[in-house]
Structure 1
Amino acid sequence: MGTRSASARPGVADGERPRVDERVRPRSVFCVIADDHRDRAVAEAACAGRFVHNGVSLELGLEPDWRSAGLAEDKEWAIEWAKFYWGLDLAHAFRETAERRFLSAWERLVRSWIHTVAVGSDASHAAGRRIQNWIYAWDAFASAPGFPGLTPGMTTAVVRSLAAQVRDLRGRLTPERNHRTVELYALFIAALALPELDGDRALLDFTIRGLHENLLTDMLPDGVHRERSTHYHMIALRTFLGARENARRFGLVLPAGYDERLTRACEFALHCHRPDGDIPALSDADRGSYLDLLALAGDLLVRPDFSWAATLGGRGRPPADRHASFPLGGYFVQRSGWGTGSTPLREERFLVLDCGPLGDGSHGHSDLLSVEIAADGRPLVLDPGRYTYSEADPNWRRWFKGTAAHNTVTVDGLDQTPYSPGKPRGPVARGVFVGRCQAPGLDILVGEATSPCYEVVHVRRVVFVADEYWIIEDRLHGERSHRYDLRFHLAPEFWGQTAVDVGQDSTTVRAPGLALVVVPPVRSHLEEGWVAPSYGVKVPAPVISLVAEGQAEMTFLTLLVPLALTAPVPALHAYATDAATVVEVRGTGPGGRMRDWIGWRESTGPLDLGPLRLRAVAGWVRQAESGAVVTSGVAGSPEAGRTPLGGVA
């Protein structure tokens, strides 16, 4: 705990410079990002005046030109650099080594900022991050063994600068969304760590109210962040969890309803993590793992299911639900399990379907009905991510936001929503979640997409069978002839290991760990695509493109099976009528010795599934080599609740 200055006054709020006791130190606050900034290489580079962001390294010195350094083609570099995240790496290096040079480098860089950059001259959200990171780093230095204190006059300079930045930020908060959350939390941290800046506690009370209000407006009632980016969801969740933990540590009472909405946001975080522990990069997002947030949430909110997911089954209790729906956010998840059976948690099957509105702001992509699929400990079909916010030529942002960069269907090569720099400027594509149909061993998602660019209606049905494989039906309904391109973006490591074979009855794609079978056979080829694992970094990746031209109506049926490269590929046959679709898959189950019949309709009616005739909306039957029925499941019939034919959960 730091020493409070007896001479400090609440006059900061009136624009006066506070009197500062040079002995003052910040009170220790919980830093939710501390574990992410313990990189010795980053600290060594900062000591040498070298900084790396977004894959680009610049030599700027310890008294840099803060106002003009960076990249002309991408302002994000300078914005991230000036948030001082690397200060935490310097502080951690000092704690580990007690070498004064890490502290000296931080002091020189902070002093340089104070002397050369006018308060209020950069974006308010960047100022919010910088306020937090100055306090976090100072706290980490000050609490380290052997801390000699800041050099004479430095404490006064830092406190006065923070007071000015806090006062400035309080007066120009972003009106809403993620940036406002960051800024409110910065003021909250400042009020906790340096109560000298908030003598009457007005700032602390204001930020508690503000954070609660922003939690309720930013996290939709189903728990998804309103920008509908998995990355920004986690960034905002990190802030709200940080506020919850700091409130606990300082004995603060948060408003009623805070924990309820926070819990819903954590539930989305739980279900959108892939089994391997990373999140899919949906909309403007990077990959990454936020299991540490689930671990914190498990303890704070007493949710053993969060703890189970956070530790990949190491402690806690498995979540009750494998499948999850977030209709307001527009995300729907299918999962084979939580590692409680013979399959380890990391190797479970996983799919997420995007079927919702564009996220608020400019972070939405033209990705309606796109999916991401993972199995056996790795992603197989991926969303490429965001890569960049720069729209300078050759404008990679346009490619990464476009429909062709996602695992869905393009019509005549067009984006679902017309591209424009920043936010959409006209009508946008509309997604409608038609419904979810479930039976033992069967989970079916149905979504519909329409676009202002064409009259075609795209209906996608995602059928998860026996927790083993997927059948994806894409129906395109147009009034005139079009070109339809169905794409699947594969993992970068599949380059050179992916083969396409167009046969008489189907098209087959083989890649490590994955087989796709498509009927009817169509023109197919490999395209060069990209995957961005982090901002500013892109790597080439193969894209499967399946093309149908000259038709108004088209239906693609795709079997996706997680499968070893040497294993035989199941055979797919489809028997479709106007009323029902029945699919036969041969080579399923243990050892590939089973035959499955899967069928679905728009409404309850007859389904002829091999040896059985059912009356249902959907159903499936598995036969052994002998022809005996091994298991089955029925949905949408009066008997479905009892599943009289037996089944597996």
Structure 2
Amino acid sequence: MNGRRPHRTFCVIEHLHRNRAVADEVVEGRFSIQGRTLELGVEPRWLGATLPADREWRLEWSKFYYGLDLADAGAATGDPKYVRVWQRLVDGWIGQVPVDLDPTDVAARRVSNWVYAWSRFAETFGALCDADGFSDRLSLSICRQLSYVITHLTRERNHRTLELYALFSVALALPWLDPANRLLDFSIDALHRNLLDDVLADGVQRERSTHYHHVVLRSFVGLRENARRFGLSLPDGFDARLARACDFSMHCHRPDGFIPALSDSDTGSYLDLLRLAGSLLNRADWTYVGTRGVAGQPPQQRHAAFPIGGYFVQRSGWGDRTRSLADERYLIFDCGEIGDGGHGHYDALNVEIAAGGRPLVVDPGRYTYCDDPPHWRRWFKGTHAHNTVTVDGLDQTPYRRGKPKFGVARARLLHRLTGSGLDILWGEAVSPAYDVVHQRRVLFVAEEYWLIEDSLHSNNAHQYELRFHLTPESNDAVCVGRSAGGCAVHTRGTVFVFDGDPSISLEAGWIAEQYGIKEAAPVVVATMTGRADARFLTLVMPTDVAAAPEFRVADGGDTWTVEVGGGDTRAWRDRVMWTRTGEALPLRGFNEPAAAAWTRSSPAGDLLVQSIATVVDVWKDAGIERPACNEEVAL
């Protein structure tokens, strides 16, 4: 190779791999992945080592992310032990493992990480990287693995994005492998087409997983930044669709700066991507959210709609002089199609709620892809592992390994109504597993609390169970009691009040913020048995006040009226009204018919707020055209 060294390209994940402890563990032959640490040595048996049953451990080990930690440690200390260990690991892999052993997306990530680490080691240690012909062996193996990836490119979704981005990265970093720029040109064009195919017009990645959305977003933002650094042109339309994907990222991040773990997801923070994208596309709102309000300008929209992806967000604000960004209220509503491919969970009408700087009601995440006993994969995908209603203990979509093959549950948004201090999301789900129609209204009142109405309709009697999954911090901190309005459940930062006579219990649940690591967490369960039609009405109020808020419900036949009194100072009384059918009808205290409205009064009875909520076009709100014929998405 005559001393040729890779160009230093921008690595979008490099800041995540600057862990000296990880590097020093690897130097000692220890590898900590997915909560498991194994001592395998620095010349491991890549094909014969005893590894965890979950194949994801071996695949993650084979991607060589720890090479970036070694490279950073080498740059920081100048100690050649880090590059020598990396070379021994790479040489061992090259000598033992067939290039076609792993899936192409794994090979792609391994090649990318080798190139990133190689470029950093070359900057720090120079000729040491070329000693004993190592660079020649490395370059040849990269060529062979690239050939394998190109020949077996995945057709779609996140694996294709990762594979194409690896081709782009190698073509940019090792130009002697692509002297005519054919690979570079192909990868840029293919990544653009992949962006348009896999990121829906509203910005949600088609697998509808918040985690995989950001996995692919890293590649597209990385492409944009490397194009800037190397003076490359990107196709027309690239920035527009990238902006859509970044908008979803901005709105789905909770106020604490982390994403909800929806569908096959871990939680995590991707604010670094928003900061970078904000500088690349001159978006002050992404910069604001990405810097936690330090720079930029707050987004103009508090609530957001992604009607193709099926996600809808309610938010109290973006921080101001009275409330910090982290303390804002937040809810995300899953009301769309199951994710494309095998990553969808059986979670129609699921919600996640956050307030006061922490998550309150959470999606448990994914935990594992291993289907072997004790079947944790099935538990985490199941309907009971989400904040929605189960019917007779069944999943909304019958479980099978991988992608659903037959009928799947269908969810759609019926209406969104919005007015001053009142936002209502009204969705519906039907299942091939039972004859029940489930409708859920999520009413966000005064930008302070939620009323969640679940209506179940059937011709046959069923058992209905409504669940709210709490965080591990709520272990030993849940109290079930009675209040004037019904059964009240107090936990850290939240009180739930259930109208009527459901049976309230606590059951053991699990939360997996990261793949392979689960923690016990309590689940609040409200149950109704032996009914064809049933209705749960739940007040969810973020508060640290010990006393339950006042909560009264009146059935007006065609309308519901809920009175809520309280707040941290008990300084107000709200009346929230809505019609059963969503049509505008006369409501008490209002001169014109309305589908929903609310008032707030002082303890003395003085009217403080009076507001009507009207139907909004979520497609227009999202700035996209409604499909010509789409009964499964929002009206």
Q: What TM-score range do you get, normalising by the shorter chain?
A: over 0.9
- Contact 1:615–1:637 under 8 Å retained in 2: no
Task: Give deviations 1:503-545, integer Å, cap 9, x for gaps.
Answer: 5751100001000101013211110000001000000000000
- Contact 1:399–1:405 under 8 Å retained in 2: yes
Whole-Å separation in 1 of the counterparts to 2:396 and 2:542: 29
Q: Which residue of 2 aligns with 1:127?
A: 107
Q: Which residue of 2 aligns with 1:14?
A: none
Mapping of 1:155-194 within 5 angstroms? 155-194=135-174
Q: Return the match for 1:57 from 33, 37, 43.
A: 37
Mapping of 1:22-101 within 5 angstroms? 23-69=3-49, 71-101=51-81
- Contact 1:503–1:521 under 8 Å retained in 2: no
Once the 2 structures are TM-superposed, how far is the Cα of residue 414 of structure 1 from its aligned partner? 0.5
Q: Return the match for 2:228 from 237, 248, 260.
A: 248
Mapping of 1:265-414 within 5 angstroms? 265-414=245-394
Matched, 1:618 2:596: yes
Q: Report SS of the residue matched to 2:547.
A: coil
Whole-Å separation in 2 of the counterparts to 1:212 and 1:578: 54
Matched, 1:433 2:397: no
Q: Return the match for 1:574 from 543, 553, 571.
A: 553
Once the 2 structures are TM-superposed, how far is the Cα of residue 637 of structure 1 from its aligned partner? 9.2
Mapping of 1:467-506 within 5 angstroms? 467-502=447-482, 505-506=485-486
Q: Which residue of 1 aligns with 2:606?
A: 628
* Larger deviation, residues 397-406 vs 149-158: 149-158
Q: Report SS of the residue matched to 2:458.
A: strand
Once the 2 structures are TM-superposed, how far is the Cα of residue 578 of structure 1 from its aligned partner? 3.7
Q: Which residue of 1 aligns with 2:177?
A: 197
- Contact 1:318–1:340 under 8 Å retained in 2: no
How many aligned residue pairs are there? 615
Q: Report SS of the residue matched to 2:124.
A: coil
Whole-Å separation in 1 of the counterparts to 2:310 and 2:423: 17
Once the 2 structures are TM-superposed, how far is the Cα of residue 166 of structure 1 from its aligned partner? 1.4
Whole-Å separation in 1 of the counterparts to 2:52 and 2:212: 25
Whole-Å separation in 2 of the counterparts to 1:428 and 1:502: 38
- Contact 1:357–1:431 under 8 Å retained in 2: yes
AA matched with 2:168: F
Q: Which residue of 2 aligns with 1:226?
A: 206
Q: Report SS of the residue matched to 1:636.
A: strand
Matched, 1:464 2:417: no
Q: Return the match for 1:517 from 497, 511, 525.
A: 497
Whole-Å separation in 2 of the counterparts to 1:552 and 1:504: 27
Once the 2 structures are TM-superposed, how far is the Cα of residue 576 of structure 1 from its aligned partner? 2.0
Once the 2 structures are TM-superposed, how far is the Cα of residue 613 of structure 1 from its aligned partner? 5.7
Alpha carbons of structure 1 residues 275 and 482: separation in structure 2 relative to 1, 3 Å: same
Whole-Å separation in 2 of the counterparts to 1:399 and 1:502: 31
Task: Give deviations 1:451-505, integer Å, cap 9, x for gaps.
Answer: 0011100000000001000000000011111101011001111111101114575
AA matched with 1:579: D
| TM-score normalised per structure 1 | 0.93
Task: Give deviations 1:221-259, integer Å, cap 9, x for gaps.
Answer: 000000000000000000000011001111110100000
Identity of aligned residues (%): 51
Matched, 1:586 2:565: yes
- Contact 1:505–1:521 under 8 Å retained in 2: no
Q: Report SS of the residue matched to 1:329.
A: coil
Q: Report SS of the residue matched to 1:306.
A: helix
Whole-Å separation in 1 of the counterparts to 2:490 and 2:315: 23
Whole-Å separation in 2 of the counterparts to 1:290 and 1:94: 26
Whole-Å separation in 1 of the counterparts to 2:146 and 2:30: 28
Q: Which residue of 2 aligns with 1:138?
A: 118
Task: Tell which has more relative contact order, 1 or 2 (C-alpha 8 A, sep 6+).
Answer: 2
Mapping of 1:207-222 within 5 angstroms? 207-222=187-202
Q: Return the match for 2:537 from 557, 577, 580.
A: 557
- Contact 2:485–2:497 under 8 Å retained in 1: no
- Contact 2:484–2:550 under 8 Å retained in 1: no
Whole-Å separation in 2 of the counterparts to 1:234 and 1:605: 41
Once the 2 structures are TM-superposed, how far is the Cα of residue 65 of structure 1 from its aligned partner? 1.5
Whole-Å separation in 1 of the counterparts to 2:341 and 2:50: 25
Q: Return the match for 1:529 from 487, 509, 515.
A: 509
Whole-Å separation in 1 of the counterparts to 2:51 and 2:305: 41
Once the 2 structures are TM-superposed, how far is the Cα of residue 167 of structure 1 from its aligned partner? 1.8
- Structure 2, unaligned runs of 5 or more: 617-635
Q: Report SS of the residue matched to 1:152.
A: helix
Q: Report SS of the residue matched to 1:263.
A: helix
AA matched with 1:222: D
Once the 2 structures are TM-superposed, how far is the Cα of residue 410 of structure 1 from its aligned partner? 0.4
